[in-house]
Structure 1
């Protein structure tokens, strides 16, 4: 099922509901969702009306092979993918991937910072 009914604002609300999440605007209006000060886990508007986030290293190539999903500019080396609206994924899959991105970033933080951010 395509996720075209998911709006960028729906995604923003979901991102901000994750533990410790905050938003910021960088690079001339790019909406950045991060934790622990400056550790990004999702970005809106990196390329037009787009959404980018981190995925598991071993799943990266499988994701970028899917229609409507590609490697994120400047962030692909860190296993980030990007997609434009309407998003090519359903709501549940998209939410699960963003939540996983959040947890991948949390997992790289010092143990004392991770407390309270793990789902």
Structure 2
């Protein structure tokens, strides 16, 4: 998987924006709240939020781990992208976007075009 493919998918989600944080991480946000963080350096790694119920199962898979600094908020790091298919990445990132967007105010969701 390539960073550009992940980037294009993230930016296709409603209200998504991107910026660079910490000097080398590409962060995707909705309503100024991150939903996906990707390394800009090789090899590609990326993190996303999952539900409380999914966290243990997903973070214990081969190629995945609890995301440093964010695991307490149920974020998972994909440290080996050969262990995830593109369609699965899309499901996880879309779910992360939805989890984060759901916490935004109704007014802000409306402004961003999120139902």
**Count of aligned residue pairs for this structure pair:** 112
Moved runs in structure 1, 4+ residues, more than 3 A? none
Gap runs ≥5 in structure 2: none
2:35 corresponds to:
41
**1:67-119, CA deviations, whole angstroms, 9 ceiling, x for partnerless residues?**
0100000000110000124341111111011000000000011111122124x
Residues 2 and 44, structure 2, Cα contact 8 Å, conserved in 1: no
Greater share of helix = 2
Q: Which structure would you say has the larger RCO, counting Cα contacts within 8 Å and 6 or more residues apart?
A: 1
Gap runs ≥5 in structure 1: 1-5
TM-score, normalisation: structure 1:
0.87
1:47-66 equivalences under 5 Å are 49-66=44-61
1:81 to 76, 100, 109: 76
TM-score, normalisation: structure 2:
0.90
* Aligned-pair CA distance for 1:28: 1.2
- Aligned-partner Cα distance in 1 for 2:9–2:68: 23
CA-based RMSD of the aligned residues comes to: 1.7
Q: Alpha carbons of 1:79 and 1:28: their partners in 2 closer, same or farther (altered >3 Å)? A: same
1:90 to 85, 97, 112: 85
**1:32-78, CA deviations, whole angstroms, 9 ceiling, x for partnerless residues?**
00011x20000001896310010111100010111010000000011
